[in-house]
């Protein structure tokens, strides 16, 4: 896997380091008790479910408003918020939340009739979940981001060491619950790596911790790529991963099948992934679109808009898909999903 700063990669399987699950947490709550199901005011805005990632700090980012004009997409997931070395959020750990190019991009998206999800985490850099020493401190860091942009949606992309540490996983869950309580109506996603059959032991533990804490998370989202081996097409393997995710969320929360599907999501990767021989095609995206439409998933996204174009000579792999395609061919599939 590439470990370039800012590249969004799935965490490798950590089974050897994990040992037995820390706790077997009993299922809690029911679909009817979940505010995200019971309260119609807590609902994704039109287009929010289809918010592809764009990374404004790397990969020759396109102007978001140009992407909007070319594809009809209204929402973006902007990445990544990291720690500045302490319990303080900054873009890539270095750029300020307000007064810079990132805030200017968000204002331009909103002026054009769109909006943003902001993503915290990713593979590289200092993670807030590790640098903040308590759930309340971490919630405070998250709140700074939410307040800076008056966000309607927030994504925790939990990977690498932040994902692999049970204490940090619990801190993230508890912090997000505080944030949900303080911001009624805020839509939240937790995004993580997966195997072709669903979340690994670490991912399942994270979901169980969320359920045990009473976290009414709107979307448990997996990144079905960098598998290290799979059978069938990447579309079929991704569906297998999502079925495993649905089963894990259903078991932890006591949801019905329908409610469980509505609380899961997918964030794929377009074109050649970080592993040799693994390619996600537009046909695979259409498979995912059909699956999302059939089951009303919480989210259908991908990494990334930066890569949604063919490669030129010497083009960095973070700035193109590595496959023959027309500009924004993957985004144009994703934008068809309306929840």
**Catalytic residue IDs:** 159
The half-sphere exposure of 107 on its side-chain side, counting CA atoms within 13 A, is 9
Q: Are 239 and 206 in contact, with CB atoms under 8 Å apart?
A: no
For residue 90, list its beta bridge partners. Answer: 82
**What pairing do the DSSP bridges indicate for beta strands 153-157 and 115-121?**
parallel
CA 113 to CA 130: how far, in whole Å?
A: 36
H or E element in which residue 324 lies: none
Residues whose CB is less than 8 angstroms from the CB of residue 299 and which lie 6 or more positions away in sequence, other chains included: 49, 51, 189, 219, 221, 265, 266, 267
CA 52 remoteness from chain centre: 9
For residue 55, list its beta bridge partners. Answer: 79
């Amino acid at each position: 896997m590439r470990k370039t700063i800012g590249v969004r990669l799935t965490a490798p399987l950590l089974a050897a380091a994990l040992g037995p699950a820390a706790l077997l947490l009993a299922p809690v709550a029911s679909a009817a008790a979940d505010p995200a199901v019971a309260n119609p005011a807590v609902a994704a805005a039109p287009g929010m479910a289809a918010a592809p990632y764009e990374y404004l700090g790397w990969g020759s980012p396109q102007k978001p408003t140009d992407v909007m004009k070319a594809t009809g997409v209204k929402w973006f997931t902007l990445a990544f918020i990291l720690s500045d070395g302490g319990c303080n959020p900054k873009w890539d750990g270095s750029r300020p939340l307000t007064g810079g190019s990132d805030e200017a991009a968000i204002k331009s998206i909103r002026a054009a009739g769109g909006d943003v999800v902001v993503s915290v985490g990713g593979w590289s850099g200092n993670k807030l979940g590790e640098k903040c020493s308590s759930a309340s401190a971490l919630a405070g860091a998250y709140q700074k981001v939410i307040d800076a942009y008056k966000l309607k949606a927030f994504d925790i992309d939990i990977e690498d060491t932040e994902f692999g540490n049970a204490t940090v996983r619990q801190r993230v869950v508890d912090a997000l619950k505080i944030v949900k309580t303080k911001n009624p109506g805020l839509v939240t996603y937790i995004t993580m790596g997966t195997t072709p059959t669903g979340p690994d032991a670490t991912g399942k533990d994270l979901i169980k911790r969320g359920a045990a804490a009473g976290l009414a998370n709107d979307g448990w989202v997996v990144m079905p790529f960098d598998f290290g081996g799979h059978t069938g097409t990447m579309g079929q393997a991704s569906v297998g991963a999502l079925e495993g995710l649905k089963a894990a969320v259903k078991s932890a929360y006591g949801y019905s099948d329908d409610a469980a599907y509505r609380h899961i999501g997918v964030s794929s990767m377009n074109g050649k992934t970080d592993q040799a021989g693994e390619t996600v095609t537009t046909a695979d995206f259409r498979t995912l679109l059909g699956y999302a439409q059939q089951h009303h998933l919480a989210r259908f996204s991908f990494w990334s808009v930066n890569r949604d174009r063919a490669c030129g000579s010497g083009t960095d792999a973070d700035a193109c898909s590595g496959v023959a395609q027309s500009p924004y061919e993957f985004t144009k599939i994703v934008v068809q999903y309306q929840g």
